[in-house]
Each structure stands twice: as structure tokens, then as C-alpha cells.
Amino acid sequence: MEVKNLNSFRSLRGAIEYEARHQPERWLGDGKEMGPGAKTTRGWDDARNETYVQREKEDAHDYRYFPDPDLVPVVMDEAWRESLRTRVPELPLARARRYASDFGLSAKEAAALVDERDVCVFYERTCAAAEAQGVEAGRAGKLAANFVLQSGAKRANERSTAEQAVLVSDLGISPEQVGAIAAMRHRGELSSNGADELFGLLCAGGGEHGSDAHEAAKRHGTSPWRVISLRLRRRTADTIASMRSFNSRQGCLTPSWKPSKEKGAGGEAGAFRATRNGVD
């Protein structure tokens, strides 16, 4: 049984109390039990504090659940269904599972990559480019994911606005360039910082779209054979700033060269240190 027109908690309470009193009486009077023909819709009369019959429900046809004579039968054979399956692209969940199984990515990494189809295409082309340069498939997938989700995502977020989201595939760097960077990183030719710098340079137009990342590295000083020079220039600038900060009251500072392990320079770079009387 269903009771309608319950517009307040007071009405709800009144209907429950009324039906609790009168349902046993109605059952004793007609002996009807729940089943076909025993479904009833009643309304609540707030003025009289009682329910009343609105209509008796029979079966499904009372709700107009019946076949439409104007609709022809639709017959779908297996060949037709298979033709549809072949036209459906790989869905995000299936793609994420493939990335996890083929490249050893974590569930979080795989889920982040499959959010956008263009990013998926960019990532897979990056993997293929790294593999073409001799990187093993699993390692290529892991390196490519790191660059897309770290170096790429960082720069994409910086360029995104409230009105327009920027994807890694929109940064201007090509998958082939990222694959080359990944291969150089794999071979130890680039440090982590150097690879990130080269990624940023290529995004900023440091090389033509599709140009060789090795050549771009040479031109912009982020390759292993130029990184020492880059670090030296930075250290020299830091030293000059330190010397200027010490005025004549502190004495004369003399720059001296001392070898040191510089992170990102293959362990071969040195550093200038400001000393006085030969002591750091």
C-alpha cells in the first residue's frame, strides 16, 4: 500500500497511526493478502485525519508497461556486435592496466596518464622513441612516465589558466625529443637536473619541433659536455656576489678553485669558493 499527500511530519505520523489501526480491520473484513490485485494507493485527508482509496493497482499493464506495436524487433547477431567492438577505442581502465603490466607503472602513475587521450598518445610515442634508441621497453616506459608526469606536468600546470588547461602534449616539445632525453638519461649522459633543464629549453623553443635533442643539448649547455661550463658560470656569479657582500671592513676576499662533487654535473665539476688568506 502507498499513501500520498503527506506534506508534513504531522501528516506522516497521522497516516501511520491511522493505518496501524485500520489495516487489521480491513484485513478481517475482506481477507485480502498482499499479491496481485491487493496493491492500493491511498490519499491522506489532513482535515479528517484519515486515508482514503485513490485507486487499486493491478499488474504491470496498469503502469502502461506493454509492448509498443509500432516498434519492429531489433535483431543483433554476433558479427554486428564484433564490428562495433573493433570500432571502440581502448578505454581508460584497460589502458591503465596495460601500462601497469607492460611498463611496471604504479596504479597512481597509470591513472594520471590515462586522464587525457592526447597525453596517452604523447606518452606512447615517447616510449617508442626511447626504445628506438636502445632503451629496454620496461625502462623506457618508466622513464617516459617520469618525464611526462614530472617535468611535463610541472610546466603544463604553470601555463594553465582557469579558462584553459594546458596538457603536456601542448608544450611544444615532441615525443621524439622527450624519448631522446630519456635515452640520454638512461645512458648516464644527462643528470636528473640536466635532463629537466633540457626538457624546459625544448618546451620554450630551444629547438625546432622534432629536432635532435642531442644537438639542442649542445647548443644550450645542458649536455654532459657543456654542463661543467654552465655550473662554473653560476658558481662564479655566486662568488662575485659573495665578494661584494663583504665590504672593505671584512678584508679582501680572494676567489680560489677547489674541486667538488657537483650534483647534476656528473661528479666532475668544481666550484669557486671565496676565501681569505687561503682559508674557507
Segment 249-270, tens digit of pLDDT: 555 545 444 444 444 444 444 4
**Amino acid occupying residue 187:** R
Residue 210: pLDDT band with limits 50, 70, 90: very low
Where do the H-state alpha helices sit in 68-188? 78-87, 92-103, 107-113, 117-132, 137-146, 153-159, 175-186
Cβ neighbourhood burial of 89 (10 Å; 0-12, 13-18, 19+) = exposed
**DSSP label of 58:** -
pLDDT at residue 274 tops 50:
no
Domain segments of the chain as ranges: 2-63, 91-223, 229-275
- Tell me what pLDDT residue 251 has: 55
Segment 152-164, tens digit of pLDDT: 999 999 999 988 9
Higher-confidence position of 125 and 33: 125
Q: Yes or no: say if 214 and 251 are a contact pair by the CB < 8 Å rule.
A: no
Segment 78-95, tens digit of pLDDT: 999 999 988 998 999 999
What percent of the chain is predicted at pLDDT more than 90? 45
Q: Yes or no: say if 275 and 256 are a contact pair by the CB < 8 Å rule.
A: yes
Question: Stretch 5-32: mean pLDDT, rounded?
Answer: 89
Residue 247: pLDDT band with limits 50, 70, 90: low
Q: Three-class SS of residue 266?
A: coil
* Average pLDDT value over all residues in the chain: 78
pTM: 0.53
What percent of the chain is predicted at pLDDT more than 70? 67
Higher-confidence position of 243 and 60: 243
- CA distance linking residue 6 with residue 14, whole number of Å: 9
